[in-house]
Amino acid sequence: MTAQVEARAESVEPSRGARRLLDRAGRVRELGVGLVLVLVVAGTAVANPRFVQPQSLRDLLINASIIALLTVGQTIVVVTRNVDLSVGSVLGLSAFITASIVAEHPGIPVVGALLLGVALGLVCGMVNGLVVSLGQVPSLVVTLGTLYVFRGLDFALAHGTQVNAADLPPSLLGLGSGRVLGVPYLVLITLVVVLAAAFYLRSYRSGRELYAMGSHPEAAMLAGIPVQRRVFTAFAVSGAVAGLAGGLWMARYGTVDAAAGTGLELQVVAAVVVGGVAIFGGSGSVLGAALGALLLSTITSCLIVLGVPAFWQQAITGALLLAAITVDRIVSLRLAAALRPDRRKADHDA
């Protein structure tokens, strides 16, 4: 019996040749996003050379860092064929509660404040994970509901008040504005989280199982993969990352109210899809999602520099999202056709 389960598990994971094909497709997507990013920056620099000055580039990276950080948790959820629409509300709730506690207890160290935000986000993510995994409720419905629940709780706790930058310790505010060797702290933290998540998804069996679940949930369950536990963990990680982003939001902006992070969930989902993560699950990378966040943030900044009206900024973002979904669907169909002989062979061997 154990041998049969192991054989099924091996059949769910792609063969070496199939994995190479999937990796190559992923790299093409990431390179495509990177190429568009370079072209956008170069084109704007021709119109306004000050756009590529060191301070301007640092501002671009800082503006994209929190969205890029949120794409880490969102990618882990989306590859399992789920979605987390509550990340903006989790960020706002974590930011406000953490800021309120730090303002009342200014002796809390910076690391302690960030860990507090992570813990608050983790609790929110576990709530999402429990309802989705144990209740078997579609994640779209669950997280759409908790989006409003967490935001409502945030407003209830705030009572129309806000935490000002003057109430927070200088060491915490320094995290949001400081840099080392010219690189902002927020960018470095985001980069570390992105690389750690990318390494986990690529190198650990449990990470690869998330892709297997997204590619074929029924087969993954038959193969003995603990689907419910993996889904719960994915949402918990997404919540924890959103909590960390809430702590960094507090350090970056100083002033925090109940509206912090409103609307970020749509930007995060757009960045993930534009970055090459399949909205139907099973493929994509954290690095590509982070590049998608940087691309969308850069396009917004470029359009502002060029004096393009806000309406066109939103329209272009929507057009990119539709284009990314269309390309993803075309690539998925071609990959499925290319991998079909490999799957037939795996089924025959089993």
CATH number, domain with residue 277 = 1.10.3470
pLDDT, residue 328, reads 64
Is the Cβ–Cβ distance between 186 and 297 less than 8 Å? no
Res 303: pLDDT: 80
Residue 306 lies in a domain: yes
- Is 348 inside any structural domain? no
**Residue 350 counted as domain residue:** no
In the prediction, which pLDDT does 10 show?
Answer: 45
| Residue 349 within any structural domain of the chain | no
What pTM value is reported for the model?
0.85
User: 293 in a domain, yes or no?
Assistant: yes
pLDDT at 97: 94
Burial grade of 278 (CB within 10 A; 0-12, 13-18, 19 or more): buried
Domain, as residue range, for 211? 2-343
Q: Which residues of the chain have pLDDT under 70?
A: 1-28, 324, 327-350
- pLDDT confidence of residue 21: 52
DSSP string covering 209-263, please? Answer: HHHHHHH-HHHHHHTT--HHHHHHHHHHHHHHHHHHHHHHHHHHH--B-TTTTTT
Count: domains in the chain: 1
Residue 76 forms part of a structural domain: yes
Residue 249 lies in a domain: yes
b/e per residue 232-263 (b: at least 16 CB within 10 A): bbbbbbbbbbbbbbbbbbbbbebebbbebbee
Predicted pLDDT at 180:
87
Chain-centre distance for alpha carbon 141: 19
Two structure tokens written together for 63: 């503006």
Question: What's the confidence (pLDDT) of residue 25?
Answer: 55
pLDDT of residue 5: 41
